[in-house]
Structure 1
Amino acid sequence: MDASSGEQVRHRLSRAGNRQINRVLHIMATVQLRNPTEGRAYFDRKKATGRHRWKRCAP
């Protein structure tokens, strides 16, 4: 994404991101939480500390 002003040339990443990649990452995270994986163990450890940053916790 172009963020140039005058002679200064700058670029920045789009805040929207890649919708296909975001969708795949979300599906991957959901599958990790549904099954007894390292991702699920990490989630459970964070949830047990009470300091997780998720608004909703998957069952």
Structure 2
Amino acid sequence: MITQSYWKYTDTPMCNSKDMRKYLKMYVKDLDESKLPYLSLAEAPSLIGQPSACIETAE
């Protein structure tokens, strides 16, 4: 939540900064856990043991 786009798109429909905070709270009860690999697979040392995923992207 420190990227330029996070701060730029604060009120867009469907997914905005406020929504992202809400989603984070659904997955992480304690922000000390914010480095857990499943929160940012791009930063995970390995994908072994991670669940399958379907990733959709938009413009």
TM-score by length of 2: 0.28
Task: Give the structure with higher Rg (CA).
Answer: 1
The TM-score, its normalising length taken from structure 1, stands at 0.28
